[in-house]
């Protein structure tokens, strides 16, 4: 059962992200589903997570892996039924696991009832006012309203054909053309999403991850950004005032959402996906707005002691100033897995539209394990992406014909997109589908043969495995009093080493340098990311230490 704590659970929670299409397939059709997730809930309980975040499971044409939603109150038949979802939520709660859903408020699917009505309605109608429709430029309106670009490549505008067959207005889509942007100046749009929140809260959902939380508001003047039409992607350079990212008017929306969450019992949660400057992030988590927001600067940092210390310091200090905890993350469904990123010469390379170079898998995994213990020792909450506890690497050799990410086509097949981090998980067995689905089923993306050695079954019970490292770390994090509270005190360390104290009896030391580091002799070792001998911490290794006169936990 869910525990009641003095402080809200989300301040220190470890949340496990389930990309539902790729987690577990219960019916053998090659696509992950609610039945598969429900069957693996005991695994998540044994892992030791506090909550599960489920990517969109709503009805969708799947133009963008479910982030193009046609009905916010249903379940896509590929994943199951609403009744199955309610049963899964109840079972998760019985196992002490909270459930967080994705909500996608920036855009709908072009198959959403609202957008279909907009296409049949005339310009200036209430139906079109739910979205961002505008007349084109030039005498015949053949040019888009401005120069904005899509995050997935190409223009951010598509022209429609009016019901009489004539060329018509243009609609905005900051992502795929199948994802028309909503008009958040519309009272009807706001009321609809307030109703959607209540719909799922009423069914026991514990919170929401807000997709593109920084993108809802747009400057109604739609000013040009000064982009050349030859540009493939949008321009995300820092600007004093961007016309469609991080406008101040988004905050009144979240103030209303916070009131809705607070009207329910049980410390409901909002976590923002807000790609904004570090000094802007605290605005999203003020006491009357959202509860938490991902610290993407941590995810984007190089494997470097000085850079990471600065990012950690800035996050803890700036968010703490508004009473919010930091929210740490190393990987998710939108970026290459960190076990691969950390094996490259440029360890901060997290985008899919660059040539990252080759990755050393052994080095990447060693650093990924060290990064996991660093993250889990920090004050605040942490999010784990499915499969990172198995040490999975990014699959970078998927056949071109299998790629499903819209970036692949919209970039003119120059950017392969995010499918490499979305390959279905290996659970057991010696060949595909590795227990992802019933024997003989074919996963929607092919799994590498090399994952045979990384299945959950293979790693379970093996002390040196990555899975057992995560289980041990989460068990200690929950049971060790030194991890409670939100304090962090830096220790004086040699160059290339990070060390901090969470309590007088608990320390974390990370060796980024190329030299072995002798550990203090009067401190015991609780856990290390890799084997150590003779009290010496090897390069790219993290140690949790206990001491200060305290007895061993």
Are 148 and 244 in contact, with CB atoms under 8 Å apart?
yes
546: β partners: 506, 524
Cα–Cα nearest to 396, from 380, 374, 418: 418
Tokens linked to 492: 């004086």
User: Exposure of 186 by Cβ count < 10 A (0-12 exposed, 13-18 middle, 19+ buried)?
Assistant: middle
- Contact residues for 62 (Cβ-Cβ < 8 A; gap 6+): 68, 78, 404
**Other residues' Cβ atoms within 10 Å of the Cβ of residue 364:** 24
User: Exposure of 440 by Cβ count < 10 A (0-12 exposed, 13-18 middle, 19+ buried)?
Assistant: exposed
Cα–Cα nearest to 542, from 497, 500, 510: 510
**Other residues' Cβ atoms within 10 Å of the Cβ of residue 229:** 10
Are 546 and 553 in contact, with CB atoms under 8 Å apart?
yes
**Run of H or E residues at 193:** helix 187-201
Cα–Cα nearest to 173, from 162, 165, 183, 163: 183
Catalytic residues: 211, 273
Q: What's CA 391's distance to the chain center, in Å?
A: 17
Tokens linked to 431: 């060949």
Terminal alpha carbon distance of the chain: 25
Rounded Cα distance, 36 and 441, in Å? 14
- Give the strands of the sheet with 167-172, arranged side by side: 133-134, 167-172, 157-161
Output the DSSP codes for 336-372.
Answer: --HHHHTTSSSTT---SSS------HHHHHHHHHHHH
Are 299 and 331 in contact, with CB atoms under 8 Å apart?
yes
Q: What's CA 233's distance to the chain center, in Å?
A: 21
Buried b (16+ CB within 10 A) or exposed e, 30-58: bbbbbbbbbebbebbeebbbbbbbbbbbb
Torsional sign, CA 211, 212, 214, 216: negative
Vertex 271: Cα angle to 466 and 244 (nearest 5): 120
Cα–Cα nearest to 386, from 65, 48, 16, 47: 16
Locate tokens 């109608």: which residue? Answer: 125
Are 97 and 116 in contact, with CB atoms under 8 Å apart?
no
Are 375 and 387 in contact, with CB atoms under 8 Å apart?
no
Which runs of consecutive H residues, i.e. helices, occur in 383-530? 406-410, 456-459, 466-479
């Amino acid at each position: 059962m869910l525990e009641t704590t003095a402080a809200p659970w989300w301040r220190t929670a470890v949340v496990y992200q389930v990309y539902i299409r790729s987690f577990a397939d219960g019916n053998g059709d090659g696509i992950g589903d609610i039945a598969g997730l429900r069957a693996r809930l005991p695994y998540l309980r044994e892992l030791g997570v506090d909550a599960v975040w489920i990517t969109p499971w709503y009805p969708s044409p799947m133009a963008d892996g479910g982030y193009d939603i046609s009905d916010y109150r249903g379940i896509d038949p590929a994943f199951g039924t609403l009744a199955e979802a309610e049963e899964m939520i109840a079972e998760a709660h019985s196992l002490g696991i909270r459930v967080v859903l994705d909500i996608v408020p920036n855009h709908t699917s072009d198959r959403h009832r609202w957008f279909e009505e907009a296409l049949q309605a005339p310009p200036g109608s209430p139906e079109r006012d739910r979205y961002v429709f505008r007349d084109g430029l030039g005498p015949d309106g053949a040019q888009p309203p401005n120069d904005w670009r899509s995050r997935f490549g190409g223009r951010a505008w598509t022209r429609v054909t009016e019901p009489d067959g004539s060329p018509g207005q243009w609609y905005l889509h900051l992502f795929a053309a199948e994802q028309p942007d909503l008009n958040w100046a519309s009272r009807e749009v706001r009321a609809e999403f307030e109703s959607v929140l209540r719909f799922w809260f009423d069914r026991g959902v514990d919170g929401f991850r807000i997709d593109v939380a920084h993108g809802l508001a747009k400057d109604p003047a739609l000013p040009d950004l000064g982009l050349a039409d030859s540009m493939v992607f949008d321009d995300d350079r820092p600007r004093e005032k961007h016309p469609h990212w991080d406008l101040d008017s988004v905050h009144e929306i979240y103030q209303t959402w916070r009131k809705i969450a607070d009207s329910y019992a049980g410390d409901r949660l909002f976590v923002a996906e807000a790609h904004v400057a570090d000094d802007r992030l605290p605005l999203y988590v003020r006491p009357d707005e959202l509860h938490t927001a991902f610290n993407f600067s941590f995810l984007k940092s190089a494997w470097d002691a000085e850079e990471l210390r600065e990012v950690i310091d800035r996050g803890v200090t700036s968010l703490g100033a508004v009473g919010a905890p930091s929210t740490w993350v190393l990987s998710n469904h939108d970026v290459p897995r960190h076990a691969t990123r950390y094996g490259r010469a440029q360890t901060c390379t997290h985008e899919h539209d660059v040539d990252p170079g080759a990755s050393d898998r052994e080095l990447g995994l060693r650093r990924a394990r060290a990064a996991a213990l660093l993250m889990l020792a920090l004050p605040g909450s942490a999010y784990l992406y499915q499969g990172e506890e198995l040490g999975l690497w990014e699959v970078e050799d998927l056949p071109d014909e299998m790629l499903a990410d819209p970036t692949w086509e919209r970039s003119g097949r120059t950017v392969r997109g995010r499918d490499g981090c979305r390959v279905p998980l290996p659970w057991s067995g010696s060949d595909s589908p590795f227990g992802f689905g019933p024997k003989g089923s074919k996963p929607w993306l092919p799994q590498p043969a090399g994952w045979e050695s990384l299945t959950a079954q293979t790693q379970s019970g093996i002390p040196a495995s990555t899975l057992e490292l995560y289980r041990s770390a989460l068990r200690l994090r929950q049971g060790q009093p030194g991890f409670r509270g939100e304090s962090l005190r830096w220790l004086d360390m040699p160059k290339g080493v990070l060390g901090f104290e969470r309590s007088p009896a608990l320390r974390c030391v990370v060796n980024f340098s190329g030299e072995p580091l002798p550990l203090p002799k009067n401190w015991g070792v609780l856990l290390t990311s890799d084997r150590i001998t003779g009290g010496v911490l090897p390069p790219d290794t993290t140690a949790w230490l206990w001491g200060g006169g305290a007895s061993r936990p």
